[in-house]
Amino acid sequence: MNELLPTSQKSYCPFFLILYLVVLGQVGFDIYLPSLPAMAADLNTTISLVQFSLSVYLVSMAFSQLFYGPLSDTYGRRNIILYAVSLYLLSSFACTVASTVQYLLIFRFIQGFSAGACVVIARAITRDQYHGKNLAKATVFLSIAWAIVPMLAPVAGGFIQQYIGWRYNFLLLLAISIVCFTLLFFFLPETLKQKKTPSVKHIFSSYKQLLSSRFFVGNLLPPALLYSSSVAYVSVAPILFQSRLHVTASHSGLLLMTTTIFYLIGSIVNRFSLNKFSMRSIILAGILLAVLSATSLIVLAFFANLTIAVIIIPFIFYYFSAGLIFATCVTKALIPFPSIAGTASALLGCLQVLMGAISTAIMSHLPDASLRPLAFYVLMAMVISLISILCITPTDNPHR
């Protein structure tokens, strides 16, 4: 990663610490996915209500980013993230002792609210330190970290569930957040060069500027819809695997890893493709592959018997295409707005995670676990993504 070292070492945040923030924000969602059936039984509630804890986490995470982004532009990155990680570790401990699903939902809301800072401030620090294609390459590395978490966390969570129980998932989150706070306290400098004067009018003006930009909106929709489709998949797949196909919790986690590992592969291919192709070309190739993957999922959902292969094979190609698209779109959305990087990251992250919350809410309220609604949702999301790139995003985008 030496190529990602900024020209100025003053106020430089080590890149591993940015990656750690990404991991902390993501792992809180993924780690207990294989435990959903067991949690419902232990808390004497329905699987749908435990699934709803995923939506609660994501909604809170989404809207909190609108709060953290402008605050970090005004007061700096360091102080805001230290407070947020402190809240994260307290709420992680509270989840371990939750005695009812109602308490769990409250603590997950608080945990999601603090996790939002991890996402938005990691992106803002990256935008503070890198520019142009170096920013794109740095964002790819963040995307790879984002891929590794849903690949490994459900595997770890599956084994934790099978051998010691779901509450230890949240104890692991507590340990991870304590380490994160310690590293931030000692190694995170303030990376914001010029703090802004607090102003509600300025905040709304910044959001208006972003939402009126075709560059921002056009490149925002594909990663938001990719994330929402991925969240829908990981919330439905463990139930399909365990309830319909009768696999164990640990096996379920391994199956999720089988598909999400291709996001990592796609991100690596993206990293090297940036040296040869324009960002727009990479995005279009990825979206076309995603549309084909979603179409095959629809066909299999209606005309094939439900098997492990029917579920995971289309998502192997889907996740590979997501690896090509995600980081590149995020980079193109942020490039034109260096002076409001925190606010831009906040809005992008909020809408992205909010779409994920909507998808989990839809899936959790279906009467029976089924592949067909998931297939419809993924295809619809990818068609909208293609329209967004072709019809909304200008072709004369800066930095290609």
Measured between alpha carbons, how far is 37 from 373 in angstroms, rounded to an integer?
A: 20
Measured between alpha carbons, how far is 360 from 375 in angstroms, rounded to an integer?
A: 14
Say whether pLDDT at 2 is over 50.
no
In this predicted structure, what is the pLDDT of residue 90?
A: 96
Please tell me what DSSP assigns to residue 12. Answer: P
Percent of the chain with pLDDT over 70: 92
Rounded to an integer, the average pLDDT of 144-150 is 74
Tens digit of each residue's pLDDT (9 = 90 or more) over 356-388:
778 877 777 765 567 888 899 999 999 999 998
Confidence band for 106, pLDDT divided at 50, 70 and 90: very high
Tens digit of each residue's pLDDT (9 = 90 or more) over 75-104:
888 999 999 999 999 999 999 999 999 999
In this predicted structure, what is the pLDDT of residue 7?
A: 44
Choice between 319 and 51, residue whose per-residue pLDDT is larger: 319
In this predicted structure, what is the pLDDT of residue 199?
A: 66
Please tell me what DSSP assigns to residue 275. Answer: T
Confidence band for 143, pLDDT divided at 50, 70 and 90: confident
Question: How is residue 320 written in tokens?
Answer: 């590979």
In this predicted structure, what is the pLDDT of residue 264?
A: 83
Say whether pLDDT at 335 is over 60.
yes
In this predicted structure, what is the pLDDT of residue 196?
A: 63
In this predicted structure, what is the pLDDT of residue 168?
A: 94
What are the chain's domains?
13-188+213-391 (1.20.1250.20)
Q: Are 320 and 230 in contact (CB under 8 A)?
A: no
In this predicted structure, what is the pLDDT of residue 195?
A: 66
In this predicted structure, what is the pLDDT of residue 316?
A: 94
Tens digit of each residue's pLDDT (9 = 90 or more) over 165-196:
899 999 999 999 999 999 999 998 888 877 66
Q: Taking the model in full, what pTM does it have?
A: 0.72
Annotate 114-141 with b (16+ C-beta within 10 A) or e (fewer): bbbbbbbbbbbbbbbbbeeebbbbbbbb
